[in-house]
Amino acid sequence: MELIQRGKEQAERFGAEFQHGSIEAAEVEERPLELSLSTGETIRTRALIVATGASARWVGADGEEELMGYGLSTCATCDGAFHRGDDVLVIGGGDSAMEEALFLAKFADSVTVVHRREELRASEIMADRAREHADIEFAWNTELLAIDGSQEAGVTGARLVSHPEGYPSERYENGEDVTVEEVDVGGVFYAIGHEPNTAFLQDTPVELDSDGYVRTTDADSWATTATAAEGVFAAGDVMDRAYQQAVTAAGMGSMAALDAEEWLESTPAPSAAAAEAPPMEADD
Binding site for ligand FAD (CB under 6 A): 22-23, 51-53, 56, 73-75, 78, 197, 200, 236-238, 244-247, 249
CA–centroid distance for 201 within its chain: 16
- The whole-angstrom separation of Cα 89 and Cα 186 is 9
Q: What is the DSSP letter of 44?
A: E
Query: Which one, 163 or 194, has the nearer CB to ligand FAD?
Result: 194
Q: How far is the CB of 52 from ligand FAD (least distance, A)?
A: 4
Query: Which one, 197 or 204, has the nearer CB to ligand FAD?
Result: 197
- The whole-angstrom separation of Cα 159 and Cα 126 is 27
What are residue 240's phi and psi, to 5 degrees? -130, 100
> Does the active-site annotation cover 148?
no
Query: Which one, 120 or 235, has the nearer CB to ligand FAD?
Result: 235
Q: How far is the CB of 215 from ligand FAD (least distance, A)?
A: 16
> Does the active-site annotation cover 184?
no
Q: How far is the CB of 158 from ligand FAD (least distance, A)?
A: 19
Residue whose beta carbon is closest to ligand FAD: 236
214: which strand partners?
A: 208
Give one DSSP letter per residue of 73-93, joined into a string: ES-HHHHGGGGTT-EEEEE--
Of 78, 128, 184, 209, the active-site residue reads: 78
> Does the active-site annotation cover 75?
yes
Query: Which one, 102 or 235, has the nearer CB to ligand FAD?
Result: 235
Of 62, 79, 95, 135, the active-site residue reads: 79
Of 62, 75, 95, 135, the active-site residue reads: 75
- The whole-angstrom separation of Cα 270 and Cα 29 is 14
Among residues 191, 200, 196, the alpha carbon closest in space to that of 215 is found at: 196
Among residues 46, 41, 8, the alpha carbon closest in space to that of 23 is found at: 41
Q: How far is the CB of 172 from ligand FAD (least distance, A)?
A: 29
Work out the end-to-end distance of the chain between its first and last CA atoms, rounded to an integer number of angstroms: 55
Question: What are the catalytic residues?
Answer: 75, 78-79
